Amino acid sequence: MDVSRRKFGSHVTGAAVGAALAACGAEGADGPVAGTPTKRAVVLVHGSWFGAWCFAKLIPLLEAKGITVAAPDLPGHGLGAKFPASFSQRPLDKAAFKAEGSPLAGVSLQDYVKAILAQVESLAAAGFGPITVLGHSMAGIPITAAAEQSPAKIAKLIYLSAFMPVTPVPAGAYLQRPEAAASLVGNLLLADLNTVGALRLDTNSIDPVYTQGLKSAFCADVSDTDFAAIAHLMQPDDPVQAYATPTGATAKNWGSVARAYIGCTADNTVPPSLQKLFVSEADMLTPANKTDFRTFDSSHTAFFAKASALADVLTTIIA
């Protein structure tokens, strides 16, 4: 897997602006160029501790199938990530790492929503449509809020082993539910999220037990070598506000948008039991517009080990 820091910089730039550039090439003053294969487009939104880089293998596979892809870094992630000072000090001062406030604590759910809708609006302005928005893991929270606020702009939502909170309860409350008990992430958090304002991991850990715990939680089906590259790109802090803010989803707005849910069967982050709870609550809210639920045999990060198979599935689901 080629997920190096060198590729990271070029990939994020290409993913963020590639859709707009492709649109300019596909259309002229008189409309679409003859032979343009499709106008379908998808916005890929990453989850906690990740950035647009995590879709590096998936993007070219979707583009080869004629689907235009935009993959933004959410605020505070990827090239916009900020790190607690104690994270860079090795050996790690665990007490300092546990107590230091996060430089990302001020990043809000609405910040995420604005970034997502900006990508959707950019694609629409360039002539693309229908536009699908896919959210992985935590990104299910902001894509839900985005569809609630601007349902007419999004043709379909796809939740990839993601949070899909549509009740007045914020997403973080679901982590205390029995359906989430099998998640391995909670034991890896190294600070009180209410104290530091973030969910904090030591993604640069040299403790083999802790590192194996990270791999088991997120990427159990990749090699140790591949996971070393992935962990090198993961960030330690993920802002807590998105988990603490209800999405505001209603049947009238969010519930009017078609949706699919891909549940990873070997997910140790958002366990299958929690996935099914989200789908059940969503279908109760919109019984006339139920979730297209599909299982997928992979760990939480299906776009790493099984990118090709995932691309095949997504091609059949994207609007």
Backbone angles phi, psi at 260, to 5 degrees: -135, 155
Q: Can you give the residue ranges of every domain in the chain?
A: 5-29+36-317
Can you tell me the distance from the alpha carbon of 229 to that of 174, in angstroms, rounded to the nearest whole number? 30
Can you tell me the distance from the alpha carbon of 153 to that of 19, in angstroms, rounded to the nearest whole number? 17
Task: Give me the mean pLDDT over the 105-133 stretch.
Answer: 97
305 CB contacts (<8 Å, ≥6 apart)? 219, 221, 222, 226, 298, 299
What rounded mean pLDDT belongs to the chain? 90
Closest CA to 233 of 105, 79, 18: 79
Task: Give me the mean pLDDT over the 86-99 stretch.
Answer: 96
- Predicted local confidence at residue 12, as pLDDT: 34
- Predicted local confidence at residue 38, as pLDDT: 59
Can you tell me the distance from the alpha carbon of 266 to that of 300, in angstroms, rounded to the nearest whole number? 7
As a whole number of Å, the end-to-end CA separation of the chain is 29
Can you tell me the distance from the alpha carbon of 34 to that of 12, in angstroms, rounded to the nearest whole number? 30
Task: Give me the mean pLDDT over the 56-64 stretch.
Answer: 98
pTM given for the model: 0.89
Cβ burial of 31 (10 Å; 0-12, 13-18, 19+) is exposed
- Predicted local confidence at residue 63, as pLDDT: 97
- Predicted local confidence at residue 18, as pLDDT: 44
> In the structure encoding, which two tokens stand for residue 260, read together?
């699919």
Q: Is the pLDDT of residue 9 over 90?
A: no
pLDDT, tens digit (0-9, with 9 covering 90-100), for 232-288: 999 999 999 999 999 999 999 999 999 999 999 999 999 999 999 999 999 999 999
pLDDT, tens digit (0-9, with 9 covering 90-100), for 278-298: 999 999 999 999 999 999 999
Task: Give me the mean pLDDT over the 21-35 stretch.
Answer: 38
- Residue 80 — left, alpha, or beta (φ > 0 → left; ψ -120 to 50 → alpha)? alpha
Provide the pLDDT confidence category of residue 112 given band limits of 50, 70 and 90: very high
Fold classification of 5-29+36-317 is Rossmann fold (3.40.50)
